[in-house]
Amino acid sequence: MNLDGTDLRILAELAENSKSSYVEIGKKLGLHPNVIGYRVNRLEDSGIIREYTTLVDFSKLGLSEQVLVAANFPSTSSREDILKRISEIPGTVSIISSLGSPEGLFFIVAKNKEDVNGVISKLRSMNLDIEFASSVIKTYSEGRLGSLLRTIAGPEARF
């Protein structure tokens, strides 16, 4: 699918607030809501927009411990099997598999340090070589995707 600057600006608006109506996006971009709807449907049909989601403040849910764990996988297991098993551990919110070292980064949330230790123990029981586990103070990902998409869109962007 060929993307142009308008598609990227629509994606930027949705990245910042996926609840925005086509009317709201259209007003911001100077386009008719039907144009927005048509383009969003194309982005969904092509798989560029895969889903809409909710950002949650974990600490307000009582999950005050947020930890980033880096680990390497055992050579005796398939990567996909390990990743699937890790994804089934409660508290594992995000998993990144990489080609370098560490081979995996896992974002874990828990109520307390004891629960974090429980997750790390489960990871160790899978023979993962944990390089580090570090408490997260704050993440700054919110709003960054929209800014990136607007920058890429530029005045006459086509992809």
Q: DSSP 3-state assignment of 24?
A: helix
Report d(CA 37, CA 71) in Å as an integer: 43
Determine contact, residues 27/13, Cβ cutoff 8 Å: no
d(CA 84, CA 12): 31
* Global pTM exceeds 0.85: no
**Rg (the chain; Cα; Å):** 20
Q: What is the pLDDT of residues 38-51, one digit of tens each?
A: 999 999 999 999 99
Cis bond before residue 33 (omega within 30° of 0): no
Q: 108: which strand partners?
A: 67, 92
Angle at 23 between CA 152 and CA 19, to 5 degrees: 70
pLDDT, tens only, 111-156: 999 999 999 999 999 999 999 999 998 877 666 788 888 888 887 6
